[in-house]
Amino acid sequence: MMKKVFLILAGILFAVNLRAVETIKVSELKPGMKGYGLSVFQGVKPERFEVELIDILPRALPDTDLILVKCSGAGLEKSRVIAGMSGSPVYFDGKLAGAIAYTWPFAIDPIAGVTPIESMLSSLQSPAKASVSASLSKAEKSDSLLGFQPVGNSIMVSGLAPSLYDEARAILESFNLGPVLTGGGKSEGMDSEVKLESGGAIGVNLVTGDIDISAVGTATLVEGNTVLAFGHPFFNGGVVSLPLSAAKVHTVLSSQGLSFKIASSGPEMGALKLDSINGISGRLGEKARMIPVKITVKNQATNITRDFSYQIADHPVLSPKLTQLCLYESLASGGAISDKAMVDLDMELKLEGYPEPIRYKDMFALQGSSFSNDYLAPVFIFSQNPYQKIQISEMTFHLSVREGWDIAEIKSIWANKTEVNPGDTVLIGVRLRKFQGDEFEKVIEFRVPEDAKQMVLLKFMGGEQMPIDIAQPESVEDLIRAFKMIPDVKWLVVQYVKPVPAMDYEGMRLKNLPPSAQAMLAGRVDTKAKRAPDFEYYTFETPYYIRGRAMLALRVISDTGR
């Protein structure tokens, strides 16, 4: 029978008022029923295609049946089910049954799995459950669907250097976002008066600015200010905030694997609020939160400086990866990517609620478009820290690039003596080899500590390998303090292991405690005090990124052996 849905959801997400939406339950559907769907195949207006109900797949997803349909019309006999059709509303007897959401790649017939509208609405009523459900891994989803996979969205990437296409694809597909296509950016000619409607093309913007990355799918239901779409997860994000836009489809490209829409996102119209296992939902007229990313690249070979500006999705897992892609693009477009180069990086993160920005310096080697993302550690760590939710309000990067690799590796160590007394000064030579260059030597003076006994063990390393001399962080404030202590990768570091250990106590590293105090702390049952190695560091500046390690042992002569 016909059902009229009157749904009002008040809570952390948004209020929804769906007025007189005629829906049909799964229990009312019978094999052989004929209906229709709506989707955009070119331009902005939804077109009708035909569907025939094959059967119901019970519990194909957790707590969700799938409606199995065969599609026809609108060229689907040739293209079959198309990436970008996900969310296309399907109607039987003129009532909304659900959204095109799943298919089989390489299938000969245009057969799709439809997520029931009652399941999509249920996700709205239980956002917490939807958020948990959305955490299903890719493997779990594949097992539960027994060969089905989400139809997916056309992920349109524009403004990206061709050398970075594979990198962009790898990053986005790691979040189940795909297929990834190039060439579709903001549709400048799209009428700003275009209204988002059921069956219309809808975009979710991940990056805007000097590059544009948007996912294009189909709106299942637009009622008032409420939007339901996709019928499957976007990237399993749970409660999110991402810009929603109308979109324009340029054409459909047929493929033997999975055909897809080539599309462009249009003007921003609202905000995606929930990314659940049964689809996405959002609100028109609301503004999504994005993180401004400003990047300056100076090419020392040409003395040209270029500025880049981006807005990226605010999400603890996705944001660092999108930042990485923006940095790649800035280096490539700034003409800074070459066979071998060094990059000096200055980073500044602004955190909401913290007046002082986090500043971080690094230096890394660049070879073509391949380089480590270790320099993004602050973004990963603050976004995903276990202590409290942190909002990054802005990120700024200054990159200075020069030709060649300024890398030196520690090769060997010598000392003018290896038997010492407390207080002695020892001359130590550290031999290093430049990358594709000669060896050179740095001579340093080391004064044997007065409390040294039996053996002095010295470890030589670069600043990148130097452990931060701080207790295990227990708060965001501890993390901030730790980042202020990160060593310079151009340092040559000598580490001396002190004979008396330190104590880590409630986020603090306590040093030089008498044995009685250590025993008292270690014996308390109400603390997490524990012993930790105590180090003393001696640092020496160099112009090179220091790699490699070495050790030197000095035997301390006892009083009787002098």
- In angstroms, the CA 127 to CA 238 distance is 8
> Are the CB atoms for 430 and 444 separated by under 8 Å?
yes
Single-letter code of the amino acid located at 392: I
Q: Residue 140's pLDDT band (boundaries 50, 70, 90)?
A: very low
> Are the CB atoms for 488 and 545 separated by under 8 Å?
no
Same-domain status, 37 and 119 = yes
Which of 165, 159, 173 has its CA nearest to residue 264?
Answer: 159
Residue 519 counted as domain residue: no
pTM above 0.85, yes or no: no
Residue 460 counted as domain residue: yes
Please give the torsion angle defined by the CA atoms of residues 316, 174, 100 and 185, in that order, rounded to the nearest 10 degrees.
80
Of 403, 437, 454, the one marking the end of a domain is: 403
> Are the CB atoms for 275 and 317 separated by under 8 Å?
no
Q: Average the pLDDT over each of 280-284, 289-293, 468-472 and give the range with the smallest value.
A: 468-472
Q: Average the pLDDT over each of 242-256, 441-455, 477-491, 538-552 and give the range with the smallest value.
A: 477-491
Same-domain status, 221 and 278 = yes
Residue 247 counted as domain residue: yes
Q: Among the residues of 106-180, which ranges form H helices?
A: 117-125, 127-133, 138-145, 165-173
> Are the CB atoms for 455 and 419 separated by under 8 Å?
no
DSSP 24-35: --GGG--TT-EE
Structure tokens at 461: 């390393």
What is the number of other CB atoms lying within 10 angstroms of the CB of residue 6? 9
Residue 526 counted as domain residue: no
Which of 360, 312, 402 has its CA nearest to residue 487?
Answer: 360
Same-domain status, 1 and 147 = yes
- pLDDT exceeds cutoff 90 at 410: yes
What integer pLDDT is reported at residue 162 of this predicted model? 82
Same-domain status, 253 and 172 = yes
Q: Residue 7's pLDDT band (boundaries 50, 70, 90)?
A: very low
- In angstroms, the CA 177 to CA 325 distance is 15
Residue 22 counted as domain residue: yes
Same-domain status, 462 and 385 = no
Same-domain status, 20 and 76 = yes
- In angstroms, the CA 124 to CA 377 distance is 35
> Are the CB atoms for 25 and 118 separated by under 8 Å?
yes
Condensed to tens digits (0 to 9), the pLDDT of residues 38-61 reads 999 999 999 999 999 999 999 888
Same-domain status, 391 and 411 = no
What integer pLDDT is reported at residue 186 of this predicted model? 60
- In angstroms, the CA 442 to CA 263 distance is 59
Residue 193 counted as domain residue: yes
- In angstroms, the CA 31 to CA 28 distance is 10
Of 374, 403, 432, the one marking the end of a domain is: 403
How far are the Cα atoms of 461, 487, 537, 540 from residue 491, in angstroms, in the given order? 8, 7, 11, 5
Same-domain status, 284 and 345 = no
Residue 508 backbone phi and psi in degrees, to 5: -115, 145
- Residues forming beta bridges with residue 480, ordered by sequence position: none
Single-letter code of the amino acid located at 223: E
Residue 528 counted as domain residue: no
What integer pLDDT is reported at residue 243 of this predicted model? 94
Which of 427, 423, 426, 428 has its CA nearest to residue 453?
Answer: 423
Domain that holds residue 467: 407-498+534-561
Same-domain status, 341 and 248 = no
* Total domain count, the chain: 3
Which of 495, 482, 488, 499 has its CA nearest to residue 537?
Answer: 495
Residue 524 counted as domain residue: no
Of 360, 384, 403, the one marking the end of a domain is: 403
Same-domain status, 381 and 476 = no
Same-domain status, 441 and 486 = yes
> Are the CB atoms for 324 and 373 separated by under 8 Å?
yes
What integer pLDDT is reported at residue 153 of this predicted model? 87
Residue with tokens 């730790």: 482
Q: Please enumerate in sequence order all residues whose Cβ is within 8 A of that of 8, keeping only pairs 6 or more positions apart, or say none.
A: 15, 16, 17
Same-domain status, 443 and 538 = yes
Structure tokens at 336: 């800074």
Half-sphere exposure of residue 137: CA atoms within 13 angstroms, side-chain side: 3
| Mean pLDDT, rounded, for 517-539 | 70
What is the number of other CB atoms lying within 10 angstroms of the CB of residue 172? 23
DSSP state, residue 414? E
